[in-house]
A and B are shown apart, each in its own frame.
Chain A
């Protein structure tokens, strides 16, 4: 689906990237731990997070994350918006909690960029 459809599904506000709403997205990753995002998120995915500091943009930049969705009605810090504009990474904000955000997107066809991580049960 397009980022524009994501915006509509989540009743989201666009903080950065009005001109990029036509981009196609298929997968997502959700976490407040950038350490885990760095370990597991895949290129081209949406990042769903409750953090608002500039490191969400830096993390997205190095991972080639398509766009950031800030959940729980939080607003990105001014320096976060400035950096996202500079690096051309869209930021949307939704009032839905992380669980609702993920559920609503999943229902419409967005899937996790990975399903599970770590060792399988057999190899434990």
Chain B
């Protein structure tokens, strides 16, 4: 799990690519990227269920950046077969990924709880709604997540 693939891995046949900056440690614009990703995928007439899953995993990644990181970038890529969502952030990172993947494990603060998050479901949810999920993280540096959804 720790040394999973770097996100520079080659993806072939990219037909669409767009990156969205995400501000960390604030919920001011939280969810904005997910709404944009959903709109883009709807314009491409992809199946509703795959759009829904892509929107959910993007939102979870976005909420994580808004909750824990200094700042991050979410990149949406599309190939004829897959929706690929990368989340890369600069921030505290995750010390124990296996533990963080467990449902219910959380390091959330009061501010995060007040927004309705921090129940320790985020990472497991991203995995649940993706066909492929890769995560790597370094404490004090940041976290990289790649999620793929088959179309």
Question: Given that A35-B116, A35-B119, A35-B120 are contacting pairs, would A61 and B31 also be in contact in the complex, using a CB cutoff of 8 Å?
Answer: yes
What residues of chain B have their CB less than 8 Å away from a CB belonging to chain A?
27, 30-31, 34-35, 38, 48, 52, 55-56, 58-60, 114-122, 124-125, 128
What residues of chain A have their CB less than 8 Å away from a CB belonging to chain B?
32-39, 43, 49, 51, 53-59, 61-64, 87
Pair A63/B31 contact, Cβ less than 8 Å: no
The majority secondary structure among interface residues of chain B is helix
What are 16 A-B pairs with beta-carbon distances under 8 A? A33-B117, A35-B116, A35-B118, A36-B121, A38-B59, A39-B124, A51-B116, A53-B27, A53-B116, A55-B115, A57-B31, A58-B35, A61-B38, A61-B55, A62-B35, A63-B52
Residue of B nearest to A51 (CB): B116
Residue of B nearest to A54 (CB): B31
Name the distance in Å between B83's Cβ and chain A's nearest Cβ: 14
